[in-house]
A and B are shown apart, each in its own frame.
Chain A
Amino acid sequence: MAEPMKIRATLQGDVADVRILMLHPMETGQRKDAKGEIVPVHFIQSVVVTHNGKTVLDAQWSQAISRNPFLGLRVKGAKAGDKMSVTWTDNKGDKRTDEVAVAAAS
């Protein structure tokens, strides 16, 4: 089920501007489907971003985050070619990890 993320990491000085698009239904558990039955909660619970293996962001999310979430962060001390890796885990145990290299400033 877990679809790939789209990650962009570009250098601005010594700060990497990281932007992540995730594809996820993020069901709140409040919505009813066409048959009138409640759609069970299904949301990303944790997002971990690592920079060359070192955790730079460890977030706990709730149902309040929208469908297909977008996350942006800036990481200090990054260099071109550094590895940015993003992992999300949802409440059903589904997981997805994607990695990009930081691109030099254009």
Chain B
Amino acid sequence: MLKLRGGIAAIAFICLSGSGHAADPLAVGRQMLAEDNPGDLWVLRGEKLFYEKRGPKQASLEKCDLGLGPGKVEGAFAQLPRYFADTDKVQDLESRLLTCMIGLQGFKREDVIKTRFSDLDRDSDMEALVSFIGSRSNGLKMNVPLSHQKEKEMFKAGEYLFHRRNGPLDFSCATCHSEDGKRIRLQDLPNMSDPRQMQAVVATAWPAYRGTQSTVRTMQHRLYDCNWQMRLPDLGYVSDMSIALTSYLNYSGNGGVIQLPGVRR
């Protein structure tokens, strides 16, 4: 099981000094997490991994084209997912990185996928790389293209999937994410029919450090977990369904100012 529910405490706050009290105690905690986001340590590790010669082919990812030219990471996150001619596919950041790790570095697809999400026994390179690349678009606006026919198809499919009710609970993404004030236990759920909230989710949420899991989680993990919460079959990593949903979400979040990695429960 990849789920790390329970058992792991969030970050220990050892405050040697008193601090002021505010009306919303949760806001204080969120503020503290945002100021000292452990995700920044994943950014450092991701940067090291990106420029390090690794894999059977002993190559770095400096020749990896994330849509803006080989090795260009600044602004790459802001324009993904997009269509790539060499693979003839619409790819999000994670599927594109997977392509590069296989093609340039010679990693085996199964091996990368096996460690796509970290657990307590091993780290995930993908989580670190995504944190690093995400952070290199900070301050920029989401600007996902929708010009290629395949991009349009993916967007359409994602929009359909987002609203399509299915599974044993007869849930769709929209069941939880299209009204204000919804929550699961104490977790506020963003209302994605509101463009402002959609922008915030897309540009500042994932990748995010999750306190309950002591690690950074990516958008692919979020979608995987949402699927699980709806009791649907496991969402395949970088599957067409996950890319379609990411295409729909990210395009709809265009204009959101990126600030990554985020911090979540």
Partner-B contacts on A (CB < 8 A): 3-4, 6, 8, 19, 21, 23, 25, 31, 33-34, 39, 57, 65-74
B45 touches A21 (CB 8 A): no
B45 touches A68 (CB 8 A): no
Partner-A contacts on B (CB < 8 A): 7-17, 35-36, 38, 40-41, 44-45, 119-121, 214
B9 touches A23 (CB 8 A): no
Jot down 30 A-B pairs with beta carbons below 8 A, ordered by A. A6-B36, A6-B38, A6-B44, A21-B40, A21-B41, A23-B38, A23-B41, A33-B120, A33-B121, A34-B119, A34-B121, A57-B16, A65-B12, A66-B10, A66-B11, A66-B12, A66-B214, A67-B9, A68-B11, A68-B38, A69-B11, A70-B11, A71-B14, A72-B13, A72-B15, A72-B17, A72-B36, A73-B16, A73-B17, A74-B17
A-B contact count (CB 8 A): 64
Q: A6-B36, A57-B16 are in contact. List 4 more A-B contacts (CB 8 A).
A: A25-B120, A67-B9, A68-B41, A71-B14
**CA of A97 to CA of B16, assembled, Å:** 21
CB distance from A1 to the nearest CB of B (A): 11
Query: CB within 8 A of B44: which of A4, A39, A66, A71?
Result: A4
CB distance from B262 to the nearest CB of A (A): 16
**B16 to chain A: closest residue by CB:** A73
**CA of A66 to CA of B12, assembled, Å:** 6
B36 touches A8 (CB 8 A): yes
**CA of A31 to CA of B35, assembled, Å:** 30
| Secondary structure of the A contact surface, majority rule | loop
Residues of B within 8 A of A57 (CB): 16
CB distance from A16 to the nearest CB of B (A): 11
Residues of A within 8 A of B119 (CB): 34
**CA of A65 to CA of B45, assembled, Å:** 23
Known: A6-B40, A19-B35, A21-B40. A68 touches B214 (CB 8 A): yes
Query: CB within 8 A of B13: which of A6, A8, A67, A70?
Result: A70
Query: CB within 8 A of A67: which of B16, B36, B40, B214?
Result: B214
Residues of A within 8 A of B214 (CB): 66-68
Residues of B within 8 A of A72 (CB): 13-17, 36
**CA of A8 to CA of B40, assembled, Å:** 12
CB distance from B28 to the nearest CB of A (A): 13
Residues of A within 8 A of B44 (CB): 3-4, 6
CB distance from B216 to the nearest CB of A (A): 11
CB distance from A62 to the nearest CB of B (A): 11
Residues of A within 8 A of B13 (CB): 70, 72
**CA of A4 to CA of B43, assembled, Å:** 12
Residues of A within 8 A of B15 (CB): 72
Residues of A within 8 A of B8 (CB): 66-67
Residues of B within 8 A of A19 (CB): 35-36
**A73 to chain B: closest residue by CB:** B16
Residues of A within 8 A of B10 (CB): 66
CB distance from A33 to the nearest CB of B (A): 5
**B41 to chain A: closest residue by CB:** A23
CB distance from B112 to the nearest CB of A (A): 19
Residues of A within 8 A of B45 (CB): 3
**CA of A67 to CA of B12, assembled, Å:** 8
**CA of A68 to CA of B9, assembled, Å:** 10
